[in-house]
A and B are shown apart, each in its own frame.
Chain A
Amino acid sequence: MKRKIIFSIIIAVILIAAIFFSYKTQKTQSRELIYALPDDVITLDPIKNPNIYNGQVISQIYEGLVKLDENNRIVPALAESWTTEDFKVWKFKIRKNVLFHDGTKLNLKDVLFSFQRILSKDSNHAWLFAGLVKDMRIEEPDIFIIELNKPEKYFLSRITANWIAVVPEKIKDIPNFGTEIAIGTGPFKLIKKTDTEITLIRNENYWRKTKGNVSTIKFVVIKNDQVRLSELKSSKVNIMELPLSLSQNLRDLNDLKISTFPTFNVHFIGFNAKELDQHLRRAINFAINRKEISEAATANLGVINSTPLPTTFKDVKEEDVFNLDEAKKEISLVKSIPKLELMVSDKNNAPIIAEIVQNQLKKINLDISIKQVEFNTLIENIIKGQTNFFIAWFSYMFSSPEPILFDVLHSSKIPAPNFWKFEDKEMDKMLEKLSEPNTENLIPQIISKFQSNPPFVPLFTLKTALIHSNFIKNVYMNGHSIPLLEEIIIEK
């Protein structure tokens, strides 16, 4: 019998030793960067890019004609330069001697094919160009032309995201393109993709010289926030995005550093502008103390904002319109106050924000209740008009103010992204003028008109925080939440 007990103890010891060894043997290479993602990478086909985390991987492999640098300026990518005379015909001079990852040379046909593909029915981004593009053609030796139906001075801001990308024409004949195979021109190329891990290596033939020295990037999917952070603390992961849920009580960040970046988003309290009185909306706009919300719910990552535009843009000021006296005056003008139920999702600390809003509105004698639903359910409820009071946010695909204003405020965009069913003929006219040249002073006018009759209450623009090991330098991210991993320097 004793032998059996000893035997079982030995088995237990072996088991524990096996666990230790199994984890210890996972060694890392010296210039390997391990980037933890919170969600699956579903596809590596740029036209199918479903979300920002997927986009972060795609952006390392592919490039478009232009892109955003770390200061959110539009810089040339595969287009060496561009010209337009009337903002209607855009001519892009395509860079010579660019090689795809499989060694073939980039030519004009690839560019034309890629853009036709982006505008096709299979694409998830075709709506970005709906009714806009009249014709696309090539002009030998190196000019690619996009002709628009009407002039649009901010057209470039529609194509700055890396998933508006150029792919080789031969992918037509590759059935598993996107699931197992990815061919782009970006700074890194795909080596291996499994369900939870994607390995990229540096593209030695990249057309541009970069400062970075990362030789391999491994994207690993770790869904649980706590586990991801503990992996980072144990140096099994080098870099990850800091989720809001973890931002408040971060401790023991010995060898870790947090870098924050302004990105294109606005978090807001939305109304159904048709159902809720203008004075009530104004009152709530004045009664919300954005600073308090930013401090309590976002660990100061939220930059307070009272305009529909992200504070990422230069002209947007960080300001709060908080004014309790004005709010009380406005609320006294409301004839009958309806029962208000604030619908929120479980993401991005929205329930905490909702509670703060509930308390702040008590100061103007407004009692609201809170209802929490799943994020997609919330969006569906908003679009179907089943809620008239909600907290949500936009991550914008555009990198300039004009199309953003047009999308969220123009009456033709009801029900999405004009969630508020907001209709104002004067506003529509102003928004339509935005695409014309020399209309810089129109934007402040639109914003002040917005604030006098707010269909939604902007709260803050959330900065994206990357948390990473100390020895990782030169960490940059642009407004599309694309990390510029090619510039990263690993000092070891």
Chain B
Amino acid sequence: MEFIIKKFFYSISLVFGTFTLTFIIFNLIPTNPARIILGPNAPQEAVIELERKLGLDKPLYIQFINEFKDTFKFKFKKSIISEKDVLKEVIKRFINSFKVIFLTLIFSIFISYFLNLISFYHPKFKFIVNITKIGIILPTFVSSISIITLIAIFFPKISIRYNPENFLTLILPALILSFYPIAFLTHVFNKKINEITKSTYFKSAVSLGFSKNYIFHKICFKASLVSLLSSLVNILSVAFFSTIIIEIVFTIPGIGLLLFDSVIKKDFPMLKAIVFINALFFITINLIAEILYSKIDPRINYA
């Protein structure tokens, strides 16, 4: 319990640290949101007027204090570009992204599990595990664009656009996004299996005549669970980062696209909400993972 409380306060300080950093970096970008809204042709008086309306004419430290106060009260302004309720919008977009990421995680877990299963039973198929290494080198933007080009060449009648009414159109983006996680998980799992197969308890299990099925699931899989879980948490953050590219390519209205737009259009209220929700999400996930570690492997004890 004490551990959780400690962790909680640590997390809160992390959120505010992130907030401060975002504010500083954001104000280093030499652009003016009022100018972006009105366009380059608008006269300076109109821009100054709009700045006043948006509260951008005050000195930076006052803006910072105001933002800090609001955040502490959990008060979020409206987006200065679209005038939407930022919290609602961010949560909506977050759910869209999470759909893709959830599919990605399912794909990567299942595929890496099957690849390892196959190579465990039939060592001659081990080369498949090595082929997946490509996923580690291949950046998401390269794989997504090349797959789209291939589809356009070989299946010109197929539409690759994301359709919000059709959940199945998320499969392709999720598959592309899962290249890296598949490679990563497969290797972590494979390395662990290789370690275990060299151990004496593995050899004794084999000599005692346990079935391959039993050995794979009860010995290898169980022993790799902690490292798999920690890599899953890592993958989750990588996947959230890579969705930005996938969302831009496929125009999926998710959190990555929103982040990209709000940075380009200098929509600070929106950006703040995104940073906040993201930080909360990851802190919760990490907390859950750390609690799970000690449940799976009782040797891990944080208290």
Interface residues of A (CB under 8 A from B): 1, 4-5, 8, 11, 15, 18-26, 40, 42-43, 48, 50-51, 121, 124, 126-127, 130, 179, 194-197, 220-224, 226-227, 230-231, 233-237, 374, 376-377, 379-381, 383-384, 392, 394-397, 407, 413-417
Query: Is residue B272 contacting chain A, with contact meaning CB distance below 8 A?
Result: no
Give the residue of B36, B40, B248 whose beta carbon is less than 8 angstroms from that of A416. B40
CB contacts (< 8 Å) of B160 on chain A: these are: 23, 227, 230-231
Bound form: Cα–Cα A23–B264 in Å: 31
CB contacts (< 8 Å) of B169 on chain A: these are: 22-23
Given A22-B166, A394-B41, A416-B41: A196 touches B251 (CB 8 Å cut-off): yes
A416 engages B37 (CB within 8 Å):
no
B46 engages A130 (CB within 8 Å):
yes
Q: Which 9 A-B pairs have the closest CB atoms?
A: A22-B168, A127-B46, A195-B253, A236-B159, A230-B152, A376-B31, A42-B82, A8-B114, A417-B41
Residue of A nearest to B107 (CB): A15
Residue of B nearest to A381 (CB): B30
CB<8 Å pairs between A and B, sample of 13: A18-B171, A19-B175, A23-B160, A40-B261, A50-B37, A179-B82, A236-B161, A380-B32, A383-B32, A394-B41, A414-B44, A417-B40, A417-B42
For B, the interface residue count at a CB cutoff of 8 angstroms equals: 60
Bound form: Cα–Cα A380–B118 in Å: 58
CB contacts (< 8 Å) of B212 on chain A: these are: 1
Q: Contact mask B11-55 → A, CB, 8 Å, 1/0? A: 000000000000000000111100111111111111101000100
CB distance from B160 to the nearest CB of A (A): 7
A377 engages B253 (CB within 8 Å):
no
Bound form: Cα–Cα A130–B50 in Å: 14
5 A-B pairs besides A130-B46, A381-B30, A394-B41 with CB distance below 8 A are A4-B117, A23-B159, A227-B160, A230-B151, A407-B41
Residue of A nearest to B248 (CB): A223
Given A1-B121, A179-B84, A380-B32: A223 touches B251 (CB 8 Å cut-off): yes
B168 engages A19 (CB within 8 Å):
yes
Given A19-B172, A392-B40: A376 touches B83 (CB 8 Å cut-off): no
- With most chain A CB atoms within 10 A of its CB, the pick from B30, B37, B252 is B30
CB distance from B42 to the nearest CB of A (A): 5
Given A227-B148, A236-B161, A380-B35: A416 touches B47 (CB 8 Å cut-off): yes
Q: Contact mask B62-104 → A, CB, 8 Å, 1/0? A: 0000000000000000000111100000000000000000000
Bound form: Cα–Cα A301–B175 in Å: 39
CB distance from A63 to the nearest CB of B (A): 22
CB contacts (< 8 Å) of B162 on chain A: these are: 196
Query: Is residue B164 contacting chain A, with contact meaning CB distance below 8 A?
Result: yes
Give the residue of B41, B163, B248, B257 whose beta carbon is less than 8 angstroms from that of A26. B163
Bound form: Cα–Cα A491–B32 in Å: 47
- With most chain B CB atoms within 10 A of its CB, the pick from A4, A234, A417 is A234
Residue of A nearest to B82 (CB): A42
CB distance from B74 to the nearest CB of A (A): 23
Query: Is residue B299 contacting chain A, with contact meaning CB distance below 8 A?
Result: no
A121 engages B53 (CB within 8 Å):
yes
Bound form: Cα–Cα A40–B265 in Å: 12
CB distance from A239 to the nearest CB of B (A): 15
CB contacts (< 8 Å) of B81 on chain A: these are: 42, 50
Residue of B nearest to A45 (CB): B83
Query: Is residue B209 contacting chain A, with contact meaning CB distance below 8 A?
Result: no
Bound form: Cα–Cα A50–B36 in Å: 8
Q: Contact mask B111-155 → A, CB, 8 Å, 1/0? A: 000100110010000000000000000000000010011011000
